[in-house]
Amino acid sequence: MSDKQRTIKKAVSLSGVGLHTGKPVTITFNPAEENHWFKFQRVDIEGHPIIDADVDLVVDTSRGTTLEKNGVRVHTTEHVLAALMGLGIDNCMIQVTGPEMPIMDGSSLKFIEALESVGVVEQESERDYFELTENLTFEDTVKKVEMLAVPQDDFRLTVMVDYGSEVLGTQHASMYNIAEFKQEIAPCRTFVFLRELEALLAHNLIKGGDLDNAIVLVDSELPKDKLDHLRKVFNKPDVEVKGRGVLNNTKLRFFNEPARHKLLDIVGDLALVGKPMKIHVLAARPGHAGNVDFAKKLKALAKKQKIEKDYPKVDLNAAPVLNIMDIMKLLPHRQPMLLVDKIMEYSDNHVIGVKNVTLNEEFFKGHFPGNPVMPGVFLIEAMAQCGGVLVLKTVTDPENYLTYFIKIDGVKFRQQVIPGDTVVFSLNLVTPIRRGICHMRGIAYVQNKPVMEAEMMAQIVKVKNIEVKNTEPQLA
């Protein structure tokens, strides 16, 4: 499989009912841009709110995986997300006309078929895989759930289920790579014990339940009155079970279909980490709650890995490519507004600069002098000055140019910067410099941890007879 990101060629819809609400719902899979991942959109609500497929948005795992954002929910998302993951799709907007995904036949098969009917297209960006360098464990001693992720060169799963039932017994299922999902895992239906089904019916749930969209396991013989009740509920006059086994003698698609469905659920729930994976997950007695807790651990590790990956590999003890005197030849800024001490790297599309923060900074005299913190606006200014070095290196006479802000976006302050800190600014061009306009995205680090980030746009303007003094106009 290619390592390029993928989306579907065109939109495709299918309709069904929600398992618990019983309400009709139409789901539409739409192509999405690169680095979009999966998002749900409630088109039945004013403003068409969007809920990201993000483990941090999970609010309920009791009857499937429910996501909520700004008070808007989508229920039973796991079978839909598993289908997307199983086909190696990276980006999709999933529009729904109600709060719950259609249950279809209780598996991911119908979603797989719909997605395959429109085809998949490669995009330009490379996939960003989540990978492990060491084992990661999770355990829920109350529910007896155990999960382990180990390094692997593909997405592999091994599952064991044991519900203490003679009917179900202990089952195992494996998926050696994601290419097996379509044939070996996607057709496997959800299952429920009859004793659980009766409790759900008593609470007015599974209104969309049907003997065609779930396997009902029976581990004790049913009296006639219970059979009559089930016939009425499901409007199925031929409901029967011969001793223990499967209600209505439903033919299993695989001898271990329940274990395979648990594997399907894990694929869907781990999609909430937000990226494709190259790991081997081993799970004992998994459920949605454990899957989600484990996904949170994986996402936290993925975030840590990204920070470490993005942190510029720069030796602060090495000689700079531009020292303070070199910088002063490029920038018109002077104390107290010259906020870059040295440039460690620069190329046609990136720059790395350094600011050593001391208690002698002018701004500390008036900004929390009893508890000095570098003002956020000065962090932005220092970052912009690093970007100014990058753009001014593109002209032959930088002393005749000034740099002005056009726009600042996406500014986030993550940690205080205090005296004694060394701030490393890493900036990359978002788009090539054209007509003196520079569009950059930067992250500021202290001790390898992000403290600030921003996206900014600036323009260099040629000005004749610039005279550098100790005071200056407001410049980026």
- pLDDT range class, residue 206, cuts 50, 70, 90: low
- pLDDT range class, residue 473, cuts 50, 70, 90: very low
Considering the domain architecture, whether residues 180 and 195 belong to the same structural domain is answered as no
Considering the domain architecture, whether residues 102 and 244 belong to the same structural domain is answered as no
In a domain, 105, yes or no: yes
At 427-468, the pLDDT tens digits run: 999 888 887 788 999 999 999 889 999 999 988 888 865 555
Structure token digits, residue 349: 């599309």
In a domain, 70, yes or no: yes
Residue-number span of the structural domain to which 155 is assigned: 4-186+258-306
Of residues 147 and 329, the one with the higher pLDDT is: 147
In a domain, 312, yes or no: no
In a domain, 470, yes or no: no
- Residue 405 and residue 476 in contact, taking contact as beta carbons nearer than 8 Å: yes
Considering the domain architecture, whether residues 401 and 458 belong to the same structural domain is answered as yes
Considering the domain architecture, whether residues 245 and 349 belong to the same structural domain is answered as no
Considering the domain architecture, whether residues 55 and 199 belong to the same structural domain is answered as no
At 61-89, the pLDDT tens digits run: 988 999 999 999 999 999 999 999 999 99
The region of weakest confidence among 152-161, 278-287, 315-324, 390-399 is 390-399
Catalytic residue among 20, 79, 261, 288: 288
What is the residue-averaged pLDDT of the chain?
A: 88
Q: Is 172 a catalytic residue?
A: no
In a domain, 207, yes or no: yes
Specify the number of domains making up the chain.
3
Of residues 356 and 315, the one with the higher pLDDT is: 356
Strands 156-162 and 277-284: parallel
In a domain, 476, yes or no: no
Considering the domain architecture, whether residues 330 and 300 belong to the same structural domain is answered as no
Considering the domain architecture, whether residues 206 and 242 belong to the same structural domain is answered as yes
* CATH classification at residue 63: 3.30.230.20
Which pLDDT score, from 0 to 100, does residue 1 have? 46
- Domain end position, chosen among 252, 272, 295: 252
Considering the domain architecture, whether residues 384 and 334 belong to the same structural domain is answered as yes
* CATH classification at residue 434: 3.10.129.10
Whether this prediction's pTM lies above 0.85 is answered by no
Considering the domain architecture, whether residues 388 and 333 belong to the same structural domain is answered as yes
Considering the domain architecture, whether residues 160 and 195 belong to the same structural domain is answered as no
Q: Is 280 a catalytic residue?
A: no
The region of weakest confidence among 241-255, 268-282, 283-297, 461-475 is 461-475
In a domain, 397, yes or no: yes
Cα–Cα distance, 130 to 276 (Å, whole number): 6
- Residue 92 and residue 29 in contact, taking contact as beta carbons nearer than 8 Å: yes
User: Taking the mean position of all CA atoms in its chain, how far away is CA 16?
Assistant: 27
At 230-253, the pLDDT tens digits run: 666 665 566 666 555 666 556 789
Considering the domain architecture, whether residues 195 and 177 belong to the same structural domain is answered as no
Q: Which residues contact 67 (CB under 8 A, 6 or more apart)?
A: 40, 51, 52, 53, 54, 57, 58, 59, 73, 74, 77
In a domain, 33, yes or no: yes
Considering the domain architecture, whether residues 177 and 139 belong to the same structural domain is answered as yes
Q: Is the pLDDT of residue 403 over 90?
A: no
The region of weakest confidence among 38-42, 132-136, 191-195 is 191-195
Residue closest to 190 by CA, chosen among 307, 127, 120, 106: 106
- pLDDT range class, residue 471, cuts 50, 70, 90: very low
